[in-house]
Structure 1
Amino acid sequence: MASPKEIRVIQLIDSLEPGGAERMAVTIANGLLEEVGYSGLVTTRLEGGLRNTINQKVGYAFLNKKKAIDFSALLRLRTFVKINKVNTIHAHGSSYFFAALLKMTMPSVRIFWHDHFGNRVKSQKGYFLLRFFSIFFSGVFTVNEVLKDWAQKKLRVKNVEFLSNFTSTSEDEIPVTILKGTSDKRIVFLANLHHPKNHILALQSFLASQIANEGWTLHLIGKDNQDHYSEKLKNFIKENNLQQAVFIYGSCTDVKSILKQAKVGILVSSYEGFPVTLLEYGMAELTVISTDVGYCSTIIQNEVTGYLIASDDEAQLKNALIKIANESYKNATLAKKLNTFVKNNYAPEKVIQKITAAYQRKL
């Protein structure tokens, strides 16, 4: 088996706008710095706020890809790979396509594909291209066991591993966001404003709970695309006179600073893979409400490490919010148990070792 220092790897991601897959790509690149010979990160299509959280020692390139098959961008990637003697590409999400195009011109490069898409199994898409290009993969990482089973059955690759997400305190961030409201009555919802995050369910349940009358506030942190989804949320806030209780901040990179200002974290998605958000809530010692989707039930055990509710169930979410507001003596216990669980089970060192070992076996 090759030495870890022989590994020269880049994380390949389409964007650096804050999101679960994007944060994981940055966290892995930073985490590998001291473990391998070279750790880099390349974004293909779009830069974003996470650019500032990449360790300065991580090699970085932006390809400025304009279309699906962009030969100029592919040449820039090929040049970056050659100059830095990269032998392994860790492609996240849809970036596998560009990684496969590169491999056609550089057959010696190994590709590991990282699947973050929680609804892939139920989706009606055929995934013809993914299945076709999977023949070029040396291995696949999935964020839950359901995706692992799907990949083993559907893709043309033998090496498929479940790889738990993890969070790290090592990324540098500049605190800039100041949350409104009272410090011990802030509820944070950390998720970009789009389907399937189900922000409207959060708003409806928050309104129905009437805890805003007791001074509780809801803070939506995530990219606002200024689209129909976002407009629906803003109209709901206005129509129900919630302007002094619900606040939309847009995309923020100072996540750890934001979470320190809150008491409660919620995630009420219709579907998920393995949300990094729950780990971040746990590290920040928040009391958490989560829907029972994807990997969430492994992290949030109902009334043990938080409150676990059924997907799309407004009544359950309303009741959980009321419990948190009226049974504050339980909140600290739930938060502490979640914090301990996350620290004991999702230590960065263990995951980085697993990633490195997978790379090594294919060199």
Structure 2
Amino acid sequence: MRILQLIDSLESGGAERMAVNYANALAGQVSFSGLIATRKEGALVQQLDSEVSYLFLNKRSIIDLKALFRLRNYIIRNKVTVVHAHSSSFFLAFLLKVVYPSIQLIWHDHYGDSEFLNKRPHVVLKMVLPFFHGIISVNQRLKVWTEQKLNLKNIIYLPNFPSEETMISESTVLKGIEGKRIVCLANLRVQKDHFLLLEVAKKVKVSHPEWTFHLIGKDFKDDYSQQIRHLLLAFRLEKNVFLYDTRQDVKHILNQATIAILSSQSEGLPVALLEYGWHKKPVVVTAVGDIPSLIQNGQNGFVTPAHDDGLFYDALVALMANPTIQTNFGNALYKTIVENYSEAVILKKYLNWLQTI
């Protein structure tokens, strides 16, 4: 097989990371593995394996004929047989099908607001997706929604998987005291609910002032970001909560952390959580998306309801107070990831499924 990953940008995000992970993982498994960023490049380009064929398309509008035919020429020149389109890149893949009908298309649905699927726009999806040969959903809820709402078949649930970083310099130095750092890997988006995190941090400042929070993720400089910064000042958390924007040296960052958290109000299956487990971090997370299928409360982490800063705080303090539980949770979560969410496990299911389309 000769497979191309199609993604709108290579900025740090869950869908973008998975496009890179698939391209890298397939480089040693199939005849050709490529990746095209359609609209914007980003820091993740540094994590592409040297064996992955890469092209930046520089698409400038929804229907950019020059970019479309550049994509078509790339497909023909490299004899690509399958285009694996991630998230919103599905529309360009559909246009490719119009000008190059023999290509096989699959769509990877990374939709993050799985708690609010009843509000998801779907008219365009219903028109375009019948031209695709298969669909990958990142959680079971998305799979059921696609089957019922769009009346489509050949849909497979494949969870995200973590991947080792390559050629990334270890440049990020976390503030705070070693052994008392809490990390959150999440872009500054509403669905990640950093407001809950700040409410928890306000309580931790009173009860455990030596512990600090470290927020790693893209700052979009929007209203949400401004509200976060306003609350940091209002809660007087300038010396307790630190913002780092986008960082690539995730392994190095997590090695400096004691606990990892996610306070999301909606998720699919967050790549950040898989990275936490891959690096044996004990976690406190909210019960949204497919997180409860991965984290068994009290066995390999603590899970609390979304929006409940009280229970989240209680779980976090319990974890902070017990290094033995921290170690046990980290080891147990790592075992869960290796057995069920590793690159080898998911890639085998993926390639077997492709054989059927």
Contact 2:10/2:41 (8 A) holds in 1: yes
CA shift digits 1:185-229 (9 cap, x unpaired): 110110100110001110111112336744111000000011111
Contact 2:117/2:145 (8 A) holds in 1: no
Q: Quick check: 12-21 or 212-221, which moved more? A: 212-221
Contact 1:11/1:89 (8 A) holds in 2: yes
Give 1:126 deviation, angstroms. 3.4
Give 1:123 deviation, angstroms. 4.0
2:313 counterpart of 1:344:
no
**Structure 2 counterpart of 1:274, which letter?**
L
1:250 maps to 245
1:225 maps to 220
1:3 maps to none
Give 1:235 deviation, angstroms. 1.4
Contact 1:163/1:351 (8 A) holds in 2: yes
What pairs up with 1:266-305 in 2 under 5 angstroms? Answer: 266-305=261-300
Give 1:45 deviation, angstroms. 1.0
2:2 maps to 8
1:110 maps to 104
2:210 counterpart of 1:215:
yes
1:66 maps to 60
**Change in CA separation of 1:281 and 1:292 when aligned onto 2, cut-off 3 Å:** same
2:98 counterpart of 1:78:
no
Matched pairs, number: 356
Kindly report structure 1 stretches of 4+ aligned residues shifted beyond 4 Å.
none
Separation of aligned partners in 2, 1:119 and 1:219: 24
Counterpart pick for 1:169 among 148, 159, 164: 164
User: Which secondary structure state, in structure 1, belongs to the residue aligned with residue 136 of structure 2?
Assistant: strand
Separation of aligned partners in 1, 2:299 and 2:141: 24
Contact 1:265/1:281 (8 A) holds in 2: yes
Contact 1:140/1:161 (8 A) holds in 2: yes
Q: Quick check: 193-202 or 330-339, which moved more? A: 330-339
What pairs up with 1:1-363 in 2 under 5 angstroms? Answer: 7-120=1-114, 122-155=117-150, 157-169=152-164, 171-210=166-205, 213-362=208-357
User: Which secondary structure state, in structure 2, belongs to the residue aligned with residue 258 of structure 1?
Assistant: helix
Contact 1:137/1:157 (8 A) holds in 2: no
User: Which secondary structure state, in structure 2, belongs to the residue aligned with residue 361 of structure 1?
Assistant: coil
**Which runs of no fewer than 5 residues in structure 2 stay unpaired?**
none
- Output the TM-score relative to the length of structure 2: 0.96
Separation of aligned partners in 1, 2:349 and 2:55: 25
User: Which secondary structure state, in structure 2, belongs to the residue aligned with residue 44 of structure 1?
Assistant: strand
CA shift digits 1:109-155 (9 cap, x unpaired): 00110111132562424311111111111000101111111112233
- Output the TM-score relative to the length of structure 1: 0.95
**Structure 1 counterpart of 2:130, which letter?**
I
CA shift digits 1:62-84 (9 cap, x unpaired): 11111111112112211211111
**Change in CA separation of 1:208 and 1:110 when aligned onto 2, cut-off 3 Å:** same
User: Which secondary structure state, in structure 2, belongs to the residue aligned with residue 32 of structure 1?
Assistant: helix
CA shift digits 1:135-189 (9 cap, x unpaired): 1110001011111111122335421001011112254322111111112111011
User: Which secondary structure state, in structure 1, belongs to the residue aligned with residue 27 of structure 2?
Assistant: coil
Q: Quick check: 153-162 or 223-232, which moved more? A: 153-162
Select the structure with the greater relative contact order (CA < 8 A; seq sep ≥ 6): 1
**Which runs of no fewer than 5 residues in structure 1 stay unpaired?**
1-6
**Structure 1 counterpart of 2:48, which letter?**
I
Separation of aligned partners in 1, 2:38 and 2:120: 23
Contact 1:165/1:276 (8 A) holds in 2: yes
User: Which secondary structure state, in structure 2, belongs to the residue aligned with residue 153 of structure 1?
Assistant: helix
Give 1:236 deviation, angstroms. 1.2
Give 1:13 deviation, angstroms. 0.6
User: Which secondary structure state, in structure 1, belongs to the residue aligned with residue 36 of structure 2?
Assistant: strand
Contact 1:212/1:245 (8 A) holds in 2: no
**Structure 2 counterpart of 1:127, which letter?**
H
Contact 1:209/1:321 (8 A) holds in 2: no
User: Which secondary structure state, in structure 2, belongs to the residue aligned with residue 183 of structure 1?
Assistant: coil
